[in-house]
Amino acid sequence: MQRRYPFLDHPGPLAFAHRGGAAEGRENTMAAFSRAVEMGYTYLETDAHATADGVLLAFHDHTLDRVTDRHGRVAALPYREVRRARIGGVEEIPLLSDVLGTWPDVRVNIDVKEAPAIAPLAEAIRRTNAYDRVCLTSFSDMRLARARMAVGRPVCSALGPRGVARLRAAAMGSGYGRLLGGLARDGVPCAQVPVGFRGMRVTTRALVRTAHALGMQVHVWTVDDQGVMESLLDMGVDGIMTDNISGLRDVLRARGQWHPRPTAHA
């Protein structure tokens, strides 16, 4: 039987503010997260990087260069230098513990970007008692497994790359029974997948059906076009991650599927 994870206990489809809604504000900033929460979003998506001295940031890139007014690799710099960086020349890079601690009723999907982030991430989850409010994901199976182990208690997590490949293969009928058995034993409660990858369609009706047969949700990233949102929802996906947070809210409202936080101005 699939373990029940409180992270996923919410009327669906789940609406994720990707990096706080990067199309409508400076990504991965407290201002962006705050705006999404005020709009009614229960789910935020962000990333985990650690500085050279182990300070955990909600920050996507490996370097400061693209989104801040400073330069350098995050993992090679001490926090006293990184904290001077301003996203868009204006806003501080938030600590991930502040994101977890500021809104105790909000759930946070966390992409673990590098191995040095694992230990401080586990500590931040412990310190904020966020075990039931986080979902861990990574583009590295090894990093994801190490993060789960470091947390030390069951937390929601998504399939890693190998699991997604097995799910796709099973959905296409390749080694169906063997692959489904392996996925079922893993007990991972959700698959977080793109619409497509390198010219290949990833999110299909068959993939959604296969995941659902395993008791697994399907969350799709990063979807900003409202027409694509509609088609995915018609397909039966369980969640959408978007930079276009106003657009997703409008689509879900029109379908009678918008379920805002009770205290939000939504």
Q: Domain segments of the chain: what residues?
A: 13-61+95-254
What is the spatial distance between Cα 121 and Cα 135, in angstroms, rounded to a whole number?
12
What is the spatial distance between Cα 148 and Cα 91, in angstroms, rounded to a whole number?
31
Q: Is the pLDDT of residue 5 over 80?
A: yes
For the chain, how many helices (H) and strands (E)?
10, 13
List, for residues 150-160, the tens digit of each pLDDT value.
999 999 999 99
Q: What are phi and psi of 19, to 5 degrees?
A: 55, 30
* Average pLDDT score, the chain: 95
What is the spatial distance between Cα 48 and Cα 204, in angstroms, rounded to a whole number?
29
Q: Is the pLDDT of residue 64 over 60?
A: yes
What is the spatial distance between Cα 143 and Cα 115, in angstroms, rounded to a whole number?
6
Q: For residue 177, what pLDDT is reported?
A: 58
Q: What are phi and psi of 111, to 5 degrees?
A: -90, 115
Residue found by looking up tokens 């990063």 in the block: 222
Q: Is the pLDDT of residue 1 over 60?
A: no
The residues carrying an active-site annotation are: 18, 60
List, for residues 218-263, the tens digit of each pLDDT value.
999 999 999 999 999 999 999 999 999 999 999 999 999 999 987 7
Q: For residue 173, what pLDDT is reported?
A: 82
* Mean pLDDT within 168-186: 71
What is the spatial distance between Cα 45 and Cα 4, in angstroms, rounded to a whole number?
21
Q: For residue 97, what pLDDT is reported?
A: 98
List, for residues 90-147, the tens digit of each pLDDT value.
999 999 999 999 999 999 999 999 999 999 999 999 999 999 999 999 999 999 999 9
Cβ neighbors of 16 (< 8 A, separation 6 or more) are: 41, 43, 44, 45, 109, 219, 221, 239, 240, 241, 242
Q: For residue 260, what pLDDT is reported?
A: 95
CATH top-level class of 13-61+95-254: alpha beta
Provide the CB-side half-sphere exposure for 189 (13 A, CA): 18
What is the spatial distance between Cα 131 and Cα 66, in angstroms, rounded to a whole number?
32
Task: Tell me which residue of 50, 102, 43 sits closest to 74, measured CA to CA.
Answer: 50
What is the spatial distance between Cα 36 and Cα 42, in angstroms, rounded to a whole number?
8
Q: For residue 3, what pLDDT is reported?
A: 78
